[in-house]
Every structure is written in C-alpha cells, then in structure tokens.
Amino acid sequence: MRWVAAIKASVHAKLLAGYLLVTLLVIGMGAMSLQTIAKMSSQGQLLDEAHERVHWSQEIQHALAMQMNFTAMALLLRSEATVENILRENNRFNNTLARLEKAAQPEEVELIQRIHAAQVEALTTVADIANLIRDGKVEDAMRLQHNKQYPLYRRIEEFVTQLVERERNKMDRLRASVAAANRNTLILMASSAAALMLVALLLGFVISWSFILPVQKAHGFLSEVAKGNFAATINVPNRDEFGALAAHMNHMSQELHRLYESQHQGSQELQRLNEQLQQASKAKSNFLANMSHELRTPMNAILGFVEMMLDEIYGEVPAHLREPLTDVQTNGKHLLRLINDVLDLSKIEAGRMELVLAEYSVQDVVETVRTSLQSLALEKGLGFVAAVDDDIPLALGDGKRITQCLMNLVGNALKFSKHGRVSVWVEQQGENLVYRVADTGIGIPKEELENIFGEFQQVDTAITREFSGTGLGLNITKKFVEMHGGRIWVESELGKGSTFFFVIPLRMNHVEVT
C-alpha cells in the first residue's frame, strides 16, 4: 500500500492502470481460450480422419474377403463369370487403398506398397486361375488357388490387419492425447481465472487502501485541528492528489497556527493596553478629583475676599470698582460650577460616586428648584411654572442628586430660552416618576439629539459662549438618572423648543445600588 501510495502518479492514472491491467489479463485469457478451442477442433478433425482411415482399412479387409469368396465361388461353380465380381472387389480394394495411401504417414507407405504389390500378384494369380477354369483345368486352378492365391491373400490380410491395428492404435493415442489436452486446458483456464480474480482483488485492495489510509489520516488530523491543536501535522506516503492535499493541509495548519499565535499575541497586547488604559483612566479621574479639591481652597479665598469687599467689610467700595468686582464674583462662581461638575464627573467615572439613599419629598425637590431659579426667570422675562401632583408619596433615592438633575434641566431651559416660558411637570406613572421640562428655546437639531448627553457637548460653541454653560450638566444628569435605574431623553423641534424627560423608579431598589 505504501509502495502504491508512493508512486508518483495521479489517482486517475493509478485507477486507470489498475483497470487496464485487469482488462489486459481478461483479454489474454480470452485469447488463450480461443486458441484452445481451435486446437481442440483441429484435434477432433484428426480424430475423424483416423476414424475414417480405420474404416477404409476395414473396407479393404472386406474387399479382400469378398475376393477370396468370389474366387472360391468360381472354383466351386467352375465358371469364370464370378471373375468379374472379383475384379469389381479388386477395384474397390485398390481405390480404398489409394485413398489410404494418400492420407498415409510415411511409415505406413511401405506397408501399403507391400499390400499393393501383393494384391497385384494376387490379381495375376486370379487371372491365371480364371484362365485355368476356362480351359477346364479345374484341378490346376484349385491347386493354384490353394498353393498360391490363398497364402497370398493370407499375407495381404495379415498386412491389412497390421494396417488396421496401426490405424486403431494411432486413433487411440490421438484420443488419449485429446483427452489429456482437454484436461490440461480445463486446469489452465480454471487456474488463470483464479489468478485473474486474485490479481484483480489484490489490485483493488491495494489501490483503494492507498486512498483510504490518507483519508483516514486526514480525518484524524482535521479533528485535531478542530480541537485547536494547530501544532499537529499530517504525514502520508502518497505522491498523488492525496499527497498534495496533505501538504496543503499542513500548510493550512501552519497558517492557522501562525494566525492563532498572532491573534493570541494581539489579544494579550490588547488586554495589556486595556488594563493600562483603565489604570490611566482611573489615575486621570483620581487626579481630577484631587485637583478639584485643591482648586476649591483658593476659590474659597477668591470668592470670600470679593464678597467681603462687596459687603464693604474693608470700607466703602468706589462706584467705578463695583462692576469689575461683580464680574470677578460672577466668573469665580462659574469657575466653581465647572470645578464642581468636573469633580462629580470624575467621581462617577472613577466609580467612587455613591448615591446617598433616603426618603425624600418630590414636592420639596420641585419647590427647591422653583425658588432657586425663579429670580433668573423673572430677570429674563420668561414664564416659569412648576406643577407636581400633591398625592405623590415619599420617594426613595438620592434627593439631592435628583434636585441637581432637575436644576440642571430647568437651568438649561431658562438659559436657552429668550422668550416664552419654561414648564416643569412631575407625575407618578405606576412605579415610576416622570419628570418633564419643556422650554420654548432654540431647539436641538435632529442629528444632535443623540450626542446632547455626551461630555462637553453643546449644540454650538457660539451658543456656549452666549449662554455660558459648562457642557457637563446634561452628562452628569444622565449619569445620575442611570444610577437611579432610570433613563433620560429629549424631544425637540428646531426653533420651537425642547422637552426633556427623565423617568426614575419612585422607590429605588436597594439591591440595584449595590
């Protein structure tokens, strides 16, 4: 099998060669049988001929006996009339002998010639006997017949018997040889058929197993690869299509191994980078938290001293200094808001922001926001209504953070509206609280609706300058709402206004917090 597998030929060529070999053997066997049949038929002909010769010899014997008989008859009747019959029998004898001579073997020719010579002599004697009978010398004729013709005939008969014997022996030999030939032929045919079958079976077995073995190996190899063992190799002795296939499979396995390795390395690298990134992100958040705290201390002094100046603790403030001092105060407060937002955000991102859960009144939340921002609404000449159902029960959550969220939304609404009104509704829907803040402001373009809750996102930097927001309020609001297990979204129409919604559970599940 290995030897067949190692033959450098295609599967097609191997199969073809196998079939061709078997076919040639079959043809060879056919030719052999045809030859045998021809031989047997020629032997049959020989047998027929031998049979015929025996027949002829017997006819000669018969003709001889008849001659003897007619001679005796002529003597008995003392008439030469029967000589005619003798001649006729002689003719039959001669004709048959001639035929025998023609078909005779060289060793028989001599015997036949001797018969012939004896017959000529016998016929001469017959003529003499006939003459003697005609002349009435019957006694002489009888003597001649007894002394000469009879021994002559006996001699001829002896020869003929010899001939018949020979022919019969020849026929027997021929018959025996034909039988032997038949037997041999039968044995030869049977054994070649058996050999042919054996060769065909062997060829089939060897060729098919030279294909099956690599297929089995490939099967084992592929299951190894499927299990992730890319280091496996397949090794077949085949130098045909299966050999090429095995080489391709090894190449494939190597490639897979290489890909797996590089992918593995890549993923490890990615994991390492991700860890680094997480650490960096955490470090950044920690840094921001600390910085915000450090920033707060000087802010305390700045805002404190300015306030004390404006409160005239250091004496009267000249009129022309009051405006710049107020500007310092306004910007200081804005800076403080920024610091607060950054602190919140960094705490959320560092995972250090925790909600302080307690029962709180939704009505108080709305009232706090309303009183804090009423003056701003008045200042801008905007309508400001805040409606909340009186029968909403105490909520559970971080009331201060929810206040901060509503404050951010209402503050934005007032900031971005130049005229019209800002409305706040809070209602209970089943287990949830729905907060709604609607304004008649500038609106938000559709493509910005998704991004508006991202960090440092405002629709337009020009607007940021005009309305001076930190850009962090919505992001922080979204995060607090989500920390409460709620969600926030906005519906808006450019130029007509926006409505912000957030929905949070009325009573937060403690499990959600942990």
Partner 1 sequence: MSGKTILYVEDNEFNLKMVRQLLARTAYQLIEATDGEMGVATALNEVPDLILMDIQLPKMSGLDATRRLRADPKTAAIPIIVITSFALSGDDQKAKDAGATAYMAKPYSPRELLQMIRNLLPEQ
Give whichever of 58 and 340 is closer to partner 1, judged by the CB atom: 340
Name, in order, each residue with C-beta under 8 angstroms of 470's C-beta and a sequence gap of 6 or more: 334, 337, 338, 341
Contacts with partner 1 in 268-297 (CB under 8 A)? 293, 296-297
Residue 367 beta carbon to partner 1: minimum distance, rounded to whole angstroms: 18
Binding track over 351-380 against partner 1, x by CB under 8 A = ---x-x------------------------
Coil vs helix vs strand at 498: strand
Query: With binding defined as CB under 8 A, does residue 404 bind partner 1?
Result: yes
Per-residue DSSP letter, 231: T
Contacts with partner 1 in 324-353 (CB under 8 A)? 336, 340, 343-344, 347
Q: Can you tell me which of 21, 34, 194, 308 binds partner 1, judged by CB under 8 A?
A: 308
Residue 292 beta carbon to partner 1: minimum distance, rounded to whole angstroms: 8
Q: How far apart are CA 100 and CA 55, in angstroms?
A: 10
Instruction: From 376, 359, 387, 442, select the one nearest 411 (Cα to Cα).
Output: 376
Q: For 423, phi and psi rounded to 5 degrees?
A: -120, 140
Query: With binding defined as CB under 8 A, does residue 305 bind partner 1?
Result: yes
Query: With binding defined as CB under 8 A, does residue 95 bind partner 1?
Result: no
Coil vs helix vs strand at 514: coil
Residue 399 beta carbon to partner 1: minimum distance, rounded to whole angstroms: 11
The angle at the Cα of 243, spanning 239 to 248, to the nearest 5 degrees, equals 145
Give whichever of 395 and 422 is closer to partner 1, judged by the CB atom: 395
Neighbours of 41 (CB within 10 A): 10
Query: With binding defined as CB under 8 A, does residue 59 bind partner 1?
Result: no
Query: With binding defined as CB under 8 A, does residue 477 bind partner 1?
Result: no
Query: With binding defined as CB under 8 A, does residue 303 bind partner 1?
Result: yes
Give whichever of 253 and 470 is closer to partner 1, judged by the CB atom: 470
Per-residue DSSP letter, 398: -
Residue 360 beta carbon to partner 1: minimum distance, rounded to whole angstroms: 14
**Which range in 62-70, 253-261, 311-319, 502-510 contacts partner 1 by CB under 8 A?**
311-319
Q: How far apart are CA 278 and CA 285, in angstroms?
A: 10
Q: Can you tell me which of 313, 319, 462, 511 binds partner 1, judged by CB under 8 A?
A: 313
Coil vs helix vs strand at 358: strand
State the DSSP string of 428-496.
EETTEEEEEEE--SS---GGGTTGGGSTT--S-HHHHHHH---S-HHHHHHHHHHHTT-EEEEEEETTT
Q: Can you tell me which of 102, 106, 298, 351 binds partner 1, judged by CB under 8 A?
A: 298
Listed in sequence order, the DSSP H helices in 350-398 are 362-380
Give whichever of 59 and 344 is closer to partner 1, judged by the CB atom: 344
Give whichever of 173 and 296 is closer to partner 1, judged by the CB atom: 296
Name, in order, each residue with C-beta under 8 angstroms of 421's C-beta and a sequence gap of 6 or more: 382, 383, 384, 385, 439, 440
Residue 352 beta carbon to partner 1: minimum distance, rounded to whole angstroms: 10
Residue 353 beta carbon to partner 1: minimum distance, rounded to whole angstroms: 9
Alpha carbons within 13 angstroms on the beta-carbon side of residue 257 total: 13
Residue 434 beta carbon to partner 1: minimum distance, rounded to whole angstroms: 24
Residues engaged in binding partner 1 (CB under 8 A)? 293, 296-305, 307-308, 311, 313-314, 336, 340, 343-344, 347, 354, 356, 400-401, 404
